[in-house]
Amino acid sequence: METKIVGKHITITDTIKGRIEEKVDGLSKFYSSILTVEVIIEGGKDGQQCSVEVIARGKHNHIFIGKELGQDLYACVDEAVKKVERQLVKQKEKERDNKHGQQ
């Protein structure tokens, strides 16, 4: 799985990058068909508010997006990843149900 981290109006430090990679690496246990994950971090004016967007792209053109806005960058990353995790679990359940069908 390829991870791309982009910072707009903010400098991505090694600790931020490490935290993001740690969180994003866990996504593959929820849905194994993820190909790439892109994390976009936007810093607000004077560091007041930040925006985190996690975009996970899977096979068969499945795209999962989680956005979070807040004061604490690390909390925003955690919440955005949680949103994507929920979407991945739901998609996996759909695929599993369709595969096994009703009996």
The model's pTM is 0.88
b/e sequence 81-98, b meaning 16+ C-beta within 10 Å: bebbbebbeebeeeeeee
CA distance 48 to 71: 6
CA distance 38 to 55: 5
Q: For residue 69, list its beta bridge partners.
A: 51
User: Would you place residue 96 in the very low, low, confident or very high pLDDT band (cuts 50, 70, 90)?
Assistant: confident
CATH of domain 2-100: 3.30.160.100
Q: How much of the chain exceeds pLDDT 90, in percent?
A: 71
